């Protein structure tokens, strides 16, 4: 850098400094904003209910969300924002640049090499443990028993699902890749990559052929979408059906919310994949 003009050096240094979150400028308690419900399940292991809020309304996903003026006020009032990154939540990118004085915990930056490029990061227990540790550091709090509680929930999930790993299933949309990879499950396909995209007739016919052949034993729907599409494919076939909520709306935001989510998720898979 010694050959660069001083003005350019100053500019580069200022840009570097502006990209780093400054310390919170006031004393605790701090306001923490999780953009989606599952991230709040993780954050609740550290943050009291009155200091924790969720940006997206219940049942809504980043796929169909758009910011309202009241949402911008919520973002502005938060000290720490936990989000899924620019690819999954592009409507927040401008605010992350606009308010660098806030602490922005971008969960997408915590993924390990080889993890699926899928914005539903909360289905990766490893990433949620990392995010919780980063949040603990930001709030200058001990991480507590979160990692151990997650590990215990994963051990129970492993006991349930290991005997079922060779049993194929369909999901409604590609939201569960992190979980499938972590549990080594046999996801054969999905009705759609994203809820906004409807599958074509060829895709539906191929899926029905796989069901007919016995390659797939379980089909999962989602509560926010009409089951008609799933019913049209499984009609008349002896195949089990289950339901998965990609934003875990039915799980209460408590200190053990995220381990509870893992337990619920593993039980739903076990029930649908089981041959009984």
pLDDT, position 193: 67
pLDDT-derived band at 4 (thresholds 50, 70, 90) equals very low
Mean pLDDT of 85-97: 92
Beta-carbon count within 10 A of 237 CB: 12
Structure tokens at 108: 């997408």
Mean pLDDT of 247-261: 97
- 20-29, 80-89, 197-206, 265-274: the lowest-pLDDT one: 20-29
Tell me the backbone φ, ψ of residue 183, rounded to 5 degrees. Answer: -95, 0
Decide if pLDDT at 5 tops 50: no
Beta-carbon count within 10 A of 229 CB: 15
Q: Is 37 in contact with 253 (CB distance < 8 Å)?
A: yes
Which residues lie closer than 8 Å to 212 by C-beta, 6 or more apart? Answer: 237
pLDDT-derived band at 197 (thresholds 50, 70, 90) equals confident
pLDDT, position 148: 98
Q: Is 91 in contact with 66 (CB distance < 8 Å)?
A: yes
pLDDT, position 107: 96
pLDDT, position 22: 52
Structure tokens at 159: 């006991």
Which residue shows structure tokens 């690819």? 87
pLDDT-derived band at 27 (thresholds 50, 70, 90) equals confident
Q: Please, what are the domains in the chain?
A: 27-149 (3.40.50.1980), 157-273 (3.40.50.1980)
Give the Cα-Cα-Cα angle 70, 122, 251 (nearest 5 degrees). 75
Mean pLDDT of 180-206: 85
Decide if pLDDT at 10 tops 60: no
Decide if pLDDT at 6 tops 70: no
Decide if pLDDT at 80 tops 50: yes
Give the Å distances, CA to CA, from 78 to 65, 72, 122.
19, 10, 21
pLDDT-derived band at 196 (thresholds 50, 70, 90) equals low
Looking at every residue in the chain, the average pLDDT score rounds to 87
pLDDT-derived band at 3 (thresholds 50, 70, 90) equals very low
Decide if pLDDT at 96 tops 60: yes
pLDDT, position 62: 83
pLDDT, position 81: 97
């Amino acid at each position: 850098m010694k050959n660069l003009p001083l003005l350019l050096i100053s500019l580069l240094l200022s840009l570097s400094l502006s990209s780093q979150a400054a310390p919170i400028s006031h004393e605790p308690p701090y306001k923490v904003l999780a953009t989606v419900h599952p991230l709040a399940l993780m954050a609740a292991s550290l943050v009291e209910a009155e200091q924790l809020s969720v940006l997206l309304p219940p049942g809504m996903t980043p796929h169909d969300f758009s910011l309202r003026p009241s949402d911008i006020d919520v973002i502005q009032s938060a000290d720490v924002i936990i989000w899924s990154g620019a690819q999954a939540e592009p409507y927040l990118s401008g605010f992350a640049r606009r308010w660098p004085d806030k602490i922005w915990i971008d969960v997408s930056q915590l993924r390990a090499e080889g993890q699926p490029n899928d914005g539903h990061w909360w289905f990766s227990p490893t990433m949620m443990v990392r995010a919780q540790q980063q949040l603990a550091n930001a709030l200058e709090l001990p991480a507590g028993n979160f990692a151990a509680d997650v590990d215990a929930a994963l051990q129970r999930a492993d006991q349930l699902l290991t005997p079922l790993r060779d049993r194929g299933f369909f999901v409604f949309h590609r939201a569960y890749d992190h979980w499938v990879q972590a549990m080594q499950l046999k996801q054969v396909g999905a009705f759609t990559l994203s809820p906004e995209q409807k599958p074509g007739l060829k895709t539906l016919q191929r899926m029905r052929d796989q069901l007919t052949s016995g390659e797939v034993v379980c089909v999962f729907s989602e509560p926010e979408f009409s089951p008609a599409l799933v019913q049209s494919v499984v009609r008349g076939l002896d195949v089990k059906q289950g339901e998965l909520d990609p934003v875990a709306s039915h799980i209460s935001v408590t200190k053990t919310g995220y381990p509870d989510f893992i337990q619920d998720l593993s039980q739903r898979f076990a029930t649908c994949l089981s041959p009984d």
